Amino acid sequence: MENILEVKDLHISFDTFGGEVKAVRGVSFDLKKGETLAIVGESGSGKSVTTRALARLIPSPPGRIKEGEILFDGKDLAKLKENDMQKIRGKDISTIFQDPMTSLNPTMKIGNQIMEGLIKHQKMSKSQAKKRAVELLELVGLPNPTERIDQYPHQFSGGQRQRVVIAIALACNPKILIADEPTTALDVTIQAQILELMKDIQKKTDSSIIFITHDLGVVANVADRVAVMYAGKIVEIGTVDEIFYNPKHPYTWGLLGSMPTLDNTGDDLIAIPGSPPDMLKPPKGDAFAPRNEYALEIDKEMEPPMFKVSDTHYAATWLLHEYAPDVQPPAPVLRRMKGFSNTGADSNSKEGEQR
């Protein structure tokens, strides 16, 4: 399938009083047409920064794209002028944000908030845009769209607001939809609805989705491929099956081990010890080594390159080197990997447990 977006060796830094915070340190991936790529990782791993950079939504200063390319539609978005970028934002690349309670303008009717993009990008008249806005609200499953279009955000519940946010993002049929933890701020039953809605819409519009989350239950439910990020880098990337059934990176093991499952195996949840490194001074060698019980001597000296596991599966860990000792994931993770065979079906209820 054709690549719609290619990110090559992206570096993003923030200039702070304390110095340069290297939030993203060489991220490369591509996104195919119609697929859903999940980016997972704990807070501060750089997943939000990476995706915000794709739409150039990082405030600058203090943030800046230090190097790397974001190739979309024959253009390098990393170097595009702000004015040209405004023509792409909302039209080709849309974003759904995390907290629907704060991501809508409280003093603007939701209809106008949806119509804004249509009028700007599709050159629609006000009445055309209003008609389209009603259609969009229908598409995202909001009852009585003709009345509700003239209401303000505070007259909507959290789940309804997220539907409105999704309608805004979908307004111009974007080629890429970036969903930055779109269900994290919602309660569990609403989460499931929103996920269903997004899957549904993707089927109808054939857009590509980048789905950021730290919730592996959600990943199993929505993603085709998964990228695991740690300390500003992608440490493992593969199809959803490869990541869940054959994870190679110890950090991925840790994430899987810390995810509760319904088929209770009697294992305790495994917590990954320690906390992520300070990105003001990224450590030498593998950034995950200090928290990794399987770390090798070389991890302290040299960063591991991406090792190829299969055509679609890569992981950055020295454990994949031919000279490395044969290390198996910890037993609870292994048992869990077996249990994932029925994850896809009931992952929504798992999310519930996780909260």
Partner 1 sequence: MARYILQRLGYMLITMFLIATFSFFLMKLLPGSPLKAEEKLSEAQLEILYEKYDLNDPVPIQYINYLGNLVQGDLGVSFQLNNQPVTDILANRIPVSAHLGIQAMILGTIIGMILGLVAAIKNNSWIDYTANVVSVIGISIPSFIFAGLLQYYVGVQLGILPIAFWDSFKHTIMPTISLAIFPLAIAARFLRTEMIEVLGSDYIVTARAKGVSNSGIMFKHGLRNALIPLVTVMGPMAVSLMTGTLVIEQIFSIPGIGEQFVTSVTTDDFPIIMGTTLFYAFFFILIILIIDILYGIIDPRIRLAGGKD
Which residue ranges make up the site for partner 1 (CB under 8 A)? 55, 57, 82, 86-91, 94-95, 97, 99, 102-108, 116-117, 120-121, 152, 154-155, 165, 168-169, 171
Residue 303 backbone dihedrals phi, psi, to 5 degrees: -75, 135
In angstroms, what CA-CA distances link 99 with 96, 103, 161, 165, 349?
9, 6, 9, 10, 21
Nearer to partner 1, 144 or 312 (CB): 144
When the beta carbons of 154 and 199 are compared against partner 1, the nearer one is 154
Rounded (5°) CA angle 284-285-291: 100
Residue (110 or 240) nearer to partner 1, CB:
110
Minimum gap (Å) between residue 240 Cβ and partner 1 = 27
Nearer to partner 1, 142 or 287 (CB): 142
Q: How near is the Cβ of 328 to partner 1 at its closest, in Å?
A: 43
Between 55 and 259, whose beta carbon lies closer to partner 1? Answer: 55
Cβ 135 to partner 1 shortest distance, Å: 17
Beta strands in 164-303 (DSSP E): 176-180, 208-213, 225-230, 233-239
Question: Phi and psi dihedrals of 282, rounded to 5?
Answer: -60, 140
Which segments of the chain are extended strands (E)?
3-16, 19-32, 36-40, 63-72, 75-76, 93-96, 176-180, 208-213, 225-230, 233-239, 307-308, 314-315
* Neighbouring residues of 323: CB distance < 8 A, sequence distance ≥ 6: none
Task: Report in angstroms how near the CB of residue 41 gets to partner 1 at its nearest.
Answer: 21
Give dist(CA 228, CA 45) in Å, integer: 9
* Cβ closest to partner 1, residue 103 vs residue 347: 103
Least distance to partner 1, CB of residue 95, Å = 4
The CA dihedral of 219, 173, 94, 105, to the nearest 10 degrees, is: -110
